[in-house]
Amino acid sequence: MVFEIKFLIYLLSIVLITPYLSYSNNGHGKERILIQSSDTSLKSDSLILDLSFIDLAEVPDSVFKMIHLEELHLTKNQISLIPSEIGLLQNLRTLRLYSNKIEFLPEEIGYLNKLETLDLSWNPIKRLPKTIGNLKRLKILAWNADSNIESFEGIQHLDSLETLQVAYNLLEEIPKEVFELDRLIVLDLSMNRIEDIPEEITNLSMLEVLRLTNNRLTKFPKSICELPNLKEFSISARNQVYEIPREIKNLSSLLNLEVSSTGLKVIPSEICDLSKLERLYLSSNEIESLPEEIGKLKNLKELNLFNNKLNAFPSGIIELTKLEILDIGSNTIDNIPDNISELKNLRILGLRNLGLENLPLGIHELRGLQRLDLGGNNIPLDQVTVFKENNPQCRVIGL
């Protein structure tokens, strides 16, 4: 009996949505509206309705009759109003409103007590309704926008929140409500105007990913070094970070570190204590040398030193035997040691704009190499031809 009722509701929903099936060829490869069941037997355990990319001006009334919906996708439309009837969809787990013209959400959004993912990005929403705090199961809140958010009131009550994305705003500081989200794992504050990171950031002890790229920081915040579970940290571009504090060694869980285009001059030897580090991006800085201990980073897979002021190939790099991607282009290095051949796992090697007169002999032995950038050098073409013949799997670019 239950199955029959759900089946009838499913059929009814298709009939009610049919008028919108006429929208087609939206330029994104979708020529139909997706109404899917997670189970081909139509048990309706999970219903997904995708009305994205069809220039809807409003949400069809029929949608709010689909009370078994678990996912509703309304991305890239012209919707300016979410009606109060949204509160009827109490089985929703995912609601995506990305890129519309919505200025506010109704109070009834708080009735969606099963909601786990809410994407409000690229809407002119400046504040959330007070009832937002009722969403006790919400794990992901994306509020990336191009507007000035006026208030974060209410988000401190999102007890299950694990991911908060508020990039591309005009934030000048981290809202105090954020520091009460003690289950937060991912915090994206990129592309804002933040000038300082307060000590309260240490309240977020479960944080694993912190993105601060393109802000207005004038130093590497030492408080970040007190986040014991941090695995990914980016502070690149537009920030002015000339040095990395020695306390960086405390980030024992760190896997990815990105400090590119900040004017960085000095790399402390303590960075070499990050034994789990897999990716280190330091491009477009003022770095003249690396610590001799750089070879201690035995798990490093990617190292980007493009566009710095290195005047010699750092010898410790040869000890990074797990390295898969290495870019040392646009430095003043004019000699690559033959023992680069010891980097057997290299797949991508960037040697652009080094002024090399000859192809380094050791490169011929890098049988796993898939991409080699030699642009801006003076290497004889016959040497390159021989390399290509012996390494047909490798694509040589820049010549």
Phi and psi (nearest 5°) for 172?
A: -100, -10
Residue whose tokens read 């393109």: 214
In this predicted structure, what is the pLDDT of residue 34?
52
DSSP H or E stretch at residue 385: helix 381-390
Sequential pLDDT tens for the chain (399 residues): 433 434 344 444 444 454 444 333 334 433 333 544 333 232 334 599 999 999 999 999 999 999 999 999 999 999 999 999 999 999 999 999 999 999 999 999 999 999 999 999 999 999 999 999 999 999 999 999 877 799 999 999 999 999 999 999 999 999 999 999 999 999 999 999 999 999 999 999 999 999 999 999 999 999 999 999 999 999 999 999 999 999 999 999 999 999 999 999 999 999 999 999 999 999 999 999 999 999 999 999 999 999 999 999 999 999 999 999 999 999 999 899 999 999 999 999 999 999 999 999 999 999 999 999 999 999 999 999 999 999 999 999 998
In this predicted structure, what is the pLDDT of residue 35?
45
Is 271 in a helix, a strand, or coil? helix
Give the predicted TM-score (pTM) of the model.
Answer: 0.88
Long-range contacts, 322-326 (Cβ 8 Å, 24+): 322/298, 324/348, 325/301, 326/302, 326/350
Report the C-alpha gap between 113 and 14 in whole angstroms: 25
Residue 336 amino acid letter: I
In this predicted structure, what is the pLDDT of residue 13?
45
In this predicted structure, what is the pLDDT of residue 30?
35
pLDDT in tens, 31-57: 333 544 333 232 334 599 999 999 999
* Domains of the chain (ranges, CATH numbers): 256-399 (3.80.10.10)
- CB neighbours of 170 closer than 8 A, spacing ≥ 6? 147, 148, 149, 192, 193
Q: Which neighbouring-strand residues pair with 49?
A: 35, 72
> How many residues are given for the chain?
399
Find out whether 342 and 365 touch, Cβ atoms under 8 Å. Answer: no
In this predicted structure, what is the pLDDT of residue 352?
98
In this predicted structure, what is the pLDDT of residue 19?
47
